[in-house]
Structure 1
Amino acid sequence: MNQPAIVKPCQEKFFQQGNVYCRYDNVEIEAFAPEMLDSEYWQAKNSIVGSAQGRGTTWFIATKNSAHIMQNWVLRHYYRGGLIGKIINDQYLYGGLEKTRAAREFALLKTMRSKGLPAPKPVAFRVIKHGLFYRADLLSSRIENASDLVGVLSHKKIDHALWFTIGKVIKAFHQQGIYHHDLNAHNILVDDKNQVFLIDFDRGEQRKTLEKWPEDNMARLLRSFRKECHRVVNFQWQEENWQALMKGYQS
């Protein structure tokens, strides 16, 4: 299984200013400011190099540290889905900092990286408390030279060996008890060396038992492929590709 290159472990620092609570990796960020969790901050520096649309806009950032080493990050604001998301959009009930969506995903990413699993590195999160509610943002490393499976399959087929690798990588996460709440074709990335990564672990968690939920995860992923077949023109996926993926998963 491919593994991310981990040069240094995450070294957390805590920051609070009024109703703003942040945690960040001071190896990645030398001079932290909470404004770094705003897209406007990076737009003013001409550091926005791209974006992607989901529930909201995900921003891709390229910046240099004091040693002039390029850092590539992803900035995401947390938005609610479903009907309730149309009403309160991006507000969540506050039950303590460690229970916020951002803090939990930051911690899970840190855990996965420590286990050598191919997932983004956590860089920083911000929680802004408003009375009983909060809003949140997450900054994480960007997987370079990678595209999600929907993007890949929209213009080409991938071979049996890569499908096998995808299944094997997913199994590695499951074996470590990592539950992905929304495992779908958009949240699987493949880079230019055919290395496979999982992203977007909002509402994910580490579970002690493997009972039932891995099956549900895989069923959700299969539904995702079938859905994209109807949504994306010339989507290069067939049922036999799922069999190759499952061979990797079961290996």
Structure 2
Amino acid sequence: MVKPCREKVLQQDNVYCVFDQEKISDFSPDMLSEKYWLKQNAVSGSAQGRGTTWFISHQEQQWVLRHYYRGGLIGKFNKDSYWFSGQKNTRAAREFSLLLTLEQLGLPAPHPVAYRVKRQGLFYRADLLSTRIKDAEDLVAILSRESLDKSLWADIGATIRRFHDHGIYHHDLNAHNILLDRQHKVSLIDFDRGEQRAVKQSWQQANMERLLRSFRKEQNKIPGFHWQEDNWHMLQQGYRQKN
């Protein structure tokens, strides 16, 4: 049984933090900055997306540090500042809370470690620290070099179905946000703007259609990408099967 997250709040002037004491007993707000970890020589790697995602090694734990960046057209003018309408409504607080729910449900996703919200007048910037899925790669990286067998596609579909059966909406379900580890266990990551919704609604189909568009996009973009339409049917078969 998963132990409940022992959340603790730390507030210093315009900085508001929440952290899980079971995962990070020596917490400092500076830990939500990559500069802190670079000084500690604790950065084990990074990945580029909308911004830089930092991989952290700390006391035999592996974490992921992510700053919240805006996308789309507005991101060209305002890269990381959001309107403040209460701590519980911040992007970081909502994702932290959802990751906690996923942990309690036993779903394969990162666990929440800490988040930080920095107020600046009517706006805020935010950062999130979560656990890293061990020895895992995203599907785009894997399919760029090799194909998957039918059973793995079915496992991916079945895993997504587990999330959907619990009403877990993933705002950006795409091939980059599905991981496979060395034992071929499937996990989902990046739950920014995700939420728990009523089960069996139209959003589930829209979620799957978004994922299909993602595979087709990567196939058109990456030469030799190991994905075909038949793979989608294999994934759907796993999705339709009751777990």
Among residues 141, 145, 151, which one is paired with 2:131 in the alignment? Answer: 141
Q: How large is the Cα RMSD of the aligned pairs? A: 0.9
Among residues 86, 103, 110, which one is paired with 2:76 in the alignment? Answer: 86
The residue that corresponds to 1:57 in the other structure is: 52
Residue 128 (structure 1) aligned with residue 118 (structure 2): yes
CA distance in 2, matches of 1:18, 1:188: 38
Residue 29 (structure 1) aligned with residue 29 (structure 2): no
CA distance in 1, matches of 2:24, 2:223: 41
CA distance in 2, matches of 1:209, 1:86: 36
Residue 193 (structure 1) aligned with residue 183 (structure 2): yes
CA distance in 1, matches of 2:223, 2:4: 42
Residue 216 (structure 1) aligned with residue 206 (structure 2): yes
Letter of the structure 2 residue corresponding to residue 80 of structure 1: R
CA distance in 2, matches of 1:88, 1:8: 39
The residue that corresponds to 1:180 in the other structure is: 170
CA distance in 1, matches of 2:109, 2:81: 26
Q: Alignment identity in percent?
A: 59
The residue that corresponds to 1:3 in the other structure is: none
The residue that corresponds to 1:171 in the other structure is: 161
Among residues 43, 47, 65, which one is paired with 1:75 in the alignment? Answer: 65
> Deviation of residue 230 (structure 1)?
1.1
1:192-248 CA-to-partner distances (Å, cap 9, x unmatched) read 000000000000000024210000000000000000001112110000000000000
The residue that corresponds to 2:102 in the other structure is: 112
Secondary structure at 1:50 match in 2: strand
Among residues 39, 62, 67, which one is paired with 2:34 in the alignment? Answer: 39
Letter of the structure 2 residue corresponding to residue 108 of structure 1: L
CA distance in 1, matches of 2:144, 2:4: 36
Secondary structure at 1:59 match in 2: strand
More displaced, 204-213 or 74-83? Answer: 204-213
Secondary structure at 1:40 match in 2: helix
1:58-90 CA-to-partner distances (Å, cap 9, x unmatched) read 0000111xxxxx000000000000000111110
> Deviation of residue 7 (structure 1)?
6.1
CA distance in 2, matches of 1:187, 1:117: 15
More displaced, 224-233 or 6-15? Answer: 6-15
Among residues 7, 15, 27, which one is paired with 1:12 in the alignment? Answer: 7
Distance verdict in 2 for CA 1:151–1:233, change over 3 Å = same
Among residues 216, 222, 238, which one is paired with 1:226 in the alignment? Answer: 216
> Deviation of residue 101 (structure 1)?
0.2
* Unpaired stretches in structure 2, ≥5 consecutive residues: none
Letter of the structure 1 residue corresponding to residue 26 of structure 2: A
CA distance in 2, matches of 1:118, 1:142: 11
Residue 248 (structure 1) aligned with residue 238 (structure 2): yes
Secondary structure at 2:77 match in 1: helix
Q: Contact (CA 8 Å) 2:165, 2:199: kept in 1 or not?
A: no
Secondary structure at 2:62 match in 1: strand
Secondary structure at 2:190 match in 1: coil
Secondary structure at 1:82 match in 2: coil
* Unpaired stretches in structure 1, ≥5 consecutive residues: 1-5, 65-69
**TM-score of the aligned structures, taking structure 1 as reference length:** 0.95
Q: How many residues align?
A: 241
| Off by >6 Å, runs of 4+ in structure 1 | none
